[in-house]
């Protein structure tokens, strides 16, 4: 019950209230939600699902993440698999940081943002901001990830089975203008790496969110007026 109360409060707090909030699906399994494990399509996909552990901006495992897995709406999973296969032919691979995100996880983010006494992750994730600046600007009460067609990722250069992450200019979930895809402060090599990722994803229809170089959505695969709350397990 507490999860649903928290979720309802989070939705009500939305600063983007011009439109009605999306419906929370009654689906209780990944199959009912039309969500596919990316590893059923790419068994050796590189994944570091930060919210399933403590290495994330909240400093703790996030509600709804019971396993470090990437699920996406089936069309989005298939498109992402095609991106991965295309990149491998050119000597690159993806590393996934987050995919489908349960609505209860977003409510967890909102609660964390409201606790101004907890600033232990400030140096790594928001060094130039105060925590009370995060809600609304960087942490939204409703996330496109909960629709199942959004993914956070980076790009690796590979030599056979040995891969190394490219320098993108910031780490994941760095709340700062430097994380904007076209930020003028990054160097030419970092810009080229970001653009390589943009172009690879765009070939399969993924659209970058310009304020986060790692964030991509496939609009055609999203459930436009529906979000999901099935736990990742």
- Contacting residues for 112 by C-beta, under 8 A, at least 6 apart: 57, 58, 118
Identify the residue whose tokens are 């430097």: 178
pLDDT value for 124: 98
Mean pLDDT by 10 residues, the chain (233 residues): 38 43 94 98 98 98 98 98 98 98 98 97 98 92 96 97 96 98 98 98 98 97 92 97
pLDDT of residue 224: 77
Q: Which pTM was predicted?
A: 0.90
CB 163 within 8 A of CB 156: yes
Query: What pLDDT is stored for residue 20 in this prediction?
Result: 72
pLDDT at 110: 97
Based on the residue annotation, tell me whether 47 is a catalytic residue of this protein: no
pLDDT value of residue 148: 97
Q: Catalytic residue among 78, 137, 204, 212, which?
A: 212
Helix 2-12 to helix 103-114 angle (10° resolution) is 70
Segments making up each domain of the chain, as ranges: 2-227
Q: In this structure, which CATH number among 3.30.300.30, 3.30.1380.10, 3.30.2310.20, 3.40.50.300 belongs to the domain 2-227? A: 3.30.1380.10
What is the per-residue pLDDT for 7? 42
Please, are residues 178 and 185 in contact by the beta-carbon 8 Å criterion? yes
């Amino acid at each position: 019950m507490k999860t649903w109360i928290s979720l309802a409060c989070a939705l009500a707090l939305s600063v983007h209230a011009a439109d009605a909030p999306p419906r929370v699906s009654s689906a209780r399994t990944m199959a009912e939600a039309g969500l596919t494990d990316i590893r059923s399509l790419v068994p050796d996909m590189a994944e570091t699902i930060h919210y399933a552990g403590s290495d994330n901006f909240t400093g703790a495992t996030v509600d709804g993440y019971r396993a470090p897995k990437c699920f996406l709406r089936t069309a989005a999973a298939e498109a992402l698999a095609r991106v991965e296969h295309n990149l491998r032919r050119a000597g690159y691979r993806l590393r996934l940081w987050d995919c489908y995100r349960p609505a209860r996880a977003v409510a967890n983010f909102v609660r964390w943002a409201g606790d101004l006494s907890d600033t232990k992750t400030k140096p790594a994730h928001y060094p130039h901001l105060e925590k009370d600046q995060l809600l609304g600007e960087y942490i939204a009460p409703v996330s496109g990830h909960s629709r199942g067609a959004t993914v956070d990722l980076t790009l690796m250069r590979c030599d056979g089975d040995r891969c190394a992450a490219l320098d993108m200019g910031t780490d994941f979930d760095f709340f700062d203008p430097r994380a904007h895809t076209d930020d003028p402060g990054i160097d030419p090599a970092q810009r080229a790496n970001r653009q390589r990722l943009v172009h690879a994803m765009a070939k399969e229809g993924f659209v970058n969110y310009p304020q986060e170089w790692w964030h991509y959505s496939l609009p055609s695969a999203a459930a436009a007026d529906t979000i999901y709350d099935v736990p990742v397990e």
